[in-house]
Chain A
Amino acid sequence: MGPHRKPMKVIEGTHAISYAVQRSRTAVIAAYPITPSSGVVELLAEMCADGRLSSRFIAVESEHSALAACAGASQVGLRAFTATSSHGLAYMHEMLHWCAGARLPVVLANVNRALGAPWNIFVDQTDSLSQRDTGWIQYYCEDSQEVLDTIIQAFRVAEGSLLPAMVCLDAFFLSHTSEPVSIPDQDLVDRFLPPYTPAYALSVDDPRAFGGMVAAEGYLELRARIEHSMRRAQQLAAEAAREYGAIFGRSHPLVEMLHLDDAEIVLVTSGTVAGTARTVIEEYRAQGIHVGMAKIHLFRPFPFDLVRIALGRARKVAVFDRNISFGCGGIMASEIRAALCNIRKAPTVFSFVGGLGGCDVTPDTIREVVEYTRRCDAPEQDTMWVGLPEESRQ
């Protein structure tokens, strides 16, 4: 433990978000309920009502309006937050692009939930991963403490890069699980997260138009600037993680590297699966088997350099994706392959997809993945499904 010790509070994952939003001194919160993210705004609404939070709370009629209201508040130069999940995030899609293009550092918590049809309210990361090209910084979290800490850091990284940020957590396994969480003191958060003071904002003292038409060359330039800022956001995220660690004694690396010094096989995971995988990796290590794990915490900007460091020396890489891009396979696996494609003696990438719609990913599931990767020189298919009934495997 670092310099800062506090008693823990046992709270649900959604409430860990609420406390982080409170500690971040968010000015405007706009949200629409959706299972399993509703708890986030329920507690925030309560905090606003009983005076624990001085934010303006707007109970909008849709997710599209939630993010539009956040955009409006952010365009005035204030900190804005919303939370959603699944269909709600999909309904925000247009506004996701708009916020990034308008350089509005809104922070959004997304509870990763399956998209219909058919209806399913359980975990699947495809909702947010399919928004990866909207220009939002994206984090994926393993436990509630990481969620809380990441929300606070996300505001700083977003405001530093003038890009919106999304913090993602698994439905139910994290959103509705009560865990001990340390809620940081306000004065320490204030030290870490200064007030947001953008250079340009809606103001009657300095009338400007925001988001008006630009011609082709101007548009190209603005897109290039977003890309530049997005790449720079990785550095800001690394600095934020480092400084947060120094103040609060907890650090969440952008790519966590577990036993990678000598690992021949590296398992790549994200979200709560990482927690399950840890125990399995330790079992292998205890047996002298050189298996390691890389956990993707920051997904956008994609930390190519860190991924190359983590995986470049391995012989085989097994990526476990709780998401799917139909016709291409696991989304993280695609990114990993892209990161490794130009290095010499690149490891062989095995791509596994499973756990969708809330299917359990147990230690046995992880063992199945690791054993397959150990056994085979190369994957039999581009994408291998885990946990499918036998008759569906072909």
Chain B
Amino acid sequence: MQNVNFSIPSDEVMAAGHLGCAGCGAALAMRLALKALGRRTILVVPACCWSVIDGPAPYSAAGVPLMHTPFASAAAAASGVRAALDFKGDTETTVCAWAGDGGTFDIGIQALSAAAERNENILYICYDNEAYMNTGVQRSSATPLGAWTTTTPRAHLKDRPKKDLAQIMVAHEVPYVATATVAYPDDLVAKLQRAAQIRGTRFVHLLAPCPPGWKIPSEDAMKVARLAVATRVFPLVEVEPGRPWRLTVVPPEADLEEYLRAQGRFRALLDDPAALARVRAAIGERWQRITRLAHD
């Protein structure tokens, strides 16, 4: 662990009384993100769990200005907010699109790709709970291989790998791409503080455990998110143009089955040795790919 800032700002920007579920990774993600970004931040939130978590009008838990916007439009609406602030001469306020995996990997990827290609001066944070959790656990393209959701039922588990969005964003040659998770708050805050200092499109892929969707006890959310990193399921990286990928936190390796057994959504996968082997191989190959990128 190098160049990691261990001090998390004490300012509690986000208010208590949000509407997240117990153990919600997305709620904690926002709390940490706003500590990192500070009060001079405007959030643009498409349809996602946070459309609910922020609370019913006129209440708002975020503590910073927040624009709700339709599902596919986070990056575009954020571009408009940015343009308007720039027109007013305010180039300092951080415009942060805050979207779930559905609004990022799926319906919002067109607007995101376009904003990245234009290198809009926005920070895009995808809090990824690996399915459409707000609508009741339907698969998204962020759902991992072998996972159960209501639309990938036991008899037909997700048979395609999770879309590699960090790679896709790196391919846009944007100035900053990182992955983070709420289980490593120092790393998360350091990355967002770094991102806040950079101009252009910055993309942070943030793994946010969802106790009801992952079928885990709410008190296990942090443990499971830590295991996601330790099992190499979700490597924590930082990518800036012209430099090798940087693995920011590499805990001692844990066995994949420990991660899978902790979650009800993988129960059927664990009953199928062949499928489990495929999942294990895919995670191993991706880890090899990322370590190669990190060492080049």
Contact = CB atoms under 8 A, between A and B. Distances in A.
Contact of B70 (A60, A94, A208): A94
B42 A202 contact: yes
B263 interface: no
B118 interface: yes
Contacts of A343: none
Contacts of B76: 30, 60, 64-66, 68-69, 72
Contacts of A71: 69, 73, 77, 80
Interface stretch (B52-60, B137-145, B200-208): B52-60
B65 A207 contact: yes
B113 to A, nearest CB: 7
Contact of A209 (B40, B65, B84): B65
Contacts of A207: 39, 60, 62-66
A69 B73 CA distance: 8
B119 interface: no
B135 to A, nearest CB: 15
A78 B67 CA distance: 15
A214 B86 CA distance: 31
A169 B7 CA distance: 59
B84 A28 contact: yes
Contacts of A376: none
A62 interface: yes
A202 B73 contact: no
Interface string A1-34: 0000000000000000000000000011010000
Contacts of B86: 56
B111 A58 contact: no
Given A68-B73, A215-B56, A204 B84 contact: no
A61 B73 contact: no
A70 B201 CA distance: 19
Most buried by B among A66, A78, A94: A78
Given A94-B70, A204-B39, A213-B56, A68 B77 contact: yes
B111 A65 contact: yes
A155 B113 CA distance: 31
B116 to A, nearest CB: 11
A204 B60 contact: no
Given A69-B77, A212-B55, A60 B114 contact: yes
B81 interface: yes
Contact of B60 (A64, A75, A208): A208
B118 to A, nearest CB: 7
A203 B84 contact: no
Contacts of A215: 56
Contacts of A213: 51-52, 55-57
Nearest to A55: B87
Given A58-B79, A61-B110, A61-B113, A98 B70 contact: yes
Contacts of B40: 204
B62 to A, nearest CB: 7
Contacts of B152: none
B154 interface: no
Contact of A72 (B55, B62, B64, B69): B69
Interface in B20-66: 39-42, 44, 51-52, 54-60, 62-66
A54 B85 CA distance: 13
Most buried by A among B40, B65, B80, B81: B80
A73 interface: yes
A330 to B, nearest CB: 32
B60 to A, nearest CB: 4
Contacts of B72: 64, 68, 94
A64 B72 CA distance: 8
A73 B52 contact: no
A389 interface: no
A62 B110 contact: yes
B291 interface: no
Interface in B55-112: 55-60, 62-70, 72-73, 75-88, 93, 110-111
A72 B70 contact: no
Contact of B79 (A60, A98, A206, A210): A60
Most buried by A among B70, B78, B86: B70
Given A71-B77, A72-B77, A78-B88, A209 B57 contact: yes
Contacts of A202: 42, 65, 67, 81
6 contacts: A58-B79, A65-B73, A66-B76, A72-B78, A76-B84, A213-B57
Closest 9 CB pairs of A and B: A72-B80, A211-B68, A65-B76, A61-B114, A69-B80, A68-B73, A209-B60, A76-B84, A56-B83
Given A64-B73, A76-B81, 20 more contacts: A28-B84, A30-B76, A58-B83, A61-B110, A66-B76, A68-B73, A69-B76, A69-B77, A72-B77, A75-B80, A94-B70, A98-B70, A207-B60, A209-B62, A210-B66, A210-B67, A211-B68, A212-B51, A212-B54, A218-B57
Interface of B: 39-42, 44, 51-52, 54-60, 62-70, 72-73, 75-88, 93, 110-111, 113-114, 117-118
